[in-house]
Amino acid sequence: MEKVRLQKFMADAGVASRRKSEELIAEGHVKVNNKVVTEMGIKVDHSDKVEVDGMPLETEKKRYILMYKPRGVISAVKDDKGRKVVTDLLEEDVQERVYPIGRLDYDTSGLLLLTNDGEFANHLMHPRYHVDKTYVAKIEGILETEEIKKLESGIKFKDYTTSRAKVRVMSKDKKKNSSIVRITIHEGHNHQVKNMFDAVGHKVEKLARENYGFLTLDGLVSGKYRDLTRQEVAQLKQDNR
């Protein structure tokens, strides 16, 4: 392995972002080969012993996984209530310690990314990077034109205001008093899509994420996954610089 800057090595190991890793180095939290380092220019590789607050870093081959998350599964690597988590769906071919990028609610299905590349995950989750995420929601009631305009122009909540969304009503069922709606957002606040529809008077009955940027669920069934291609990883990194 080619030597890389210490802060990148730390970010790749999932310690923190590069910027936060630089702060940890400057504050004396990091040792390389048993010596505290506070300089930014040092380079390391797997042959070096790197510790943060006394804990050795272990780096693995980078893994990037696209999963079709089922409903009833937690977007986490463990759950204190003993519920099934997304990493329980991984088979023996995944030996790396991957974790989900962001989250999907317990009762939400759809496209979820997992990785062990901390810097990659931090980039995709950073608010300044506008990664479109498209959801299909079954909601109670018939979504009206004025409500669509409100969703598209931004909903104001206590802690934040949503950015412009793209909304398209795919179908309406007046007998069952329900609508199927496709909505595209790029933020990732907790329960955001559900809260947005609640704000215009419609409860979400079912929710699925179909797209993450240019990525889709094509070729996957619920509970299955695949590795991202090198081209897909490169494009995600390029799109989020």
Catalytic status, residue 117: no
Question: Does this chain's domain 4-56 share its CATH topology with 133-212?
Answer: no
- Residue 106 vs residues 74, 103, 165, 228: alpha-carbon distances, Å: 5, 9, 23, 24
CATH number for the region 133-212 comes to: 3.30.70.1560
The backbone torsions φ and ψ at residue 153, rounded to the nearest 5 degrees and listed phi first, read: -90, -20
Please tell me the pTM assigned to this model.
0.77
Fold (CATH) for 4-56: 3.10.290
Domain limits, the chain: 4-56, 64-128+221-239, 133-212
Q: Please determine, for residue 101, whether its predicted confidence score (pLDDT) is greater than 90.
A: yes
Task: Name the phi and psi angles at 118, rounded to 5.
Answer: -60, -40
Catalytic residue among 45, 79, 88, 105: 105
Q: Which amino acid is at 11?
A: A
pLDDT, tens digit, 9 for 90 and up, residues 159-208? 899 999 999 999 999 999 999 999 999 888 889 999 999 999 999 999 99
Topology adopted by domain 64-128+221-239:
Alpha-Beta Plaits (3.30.70)
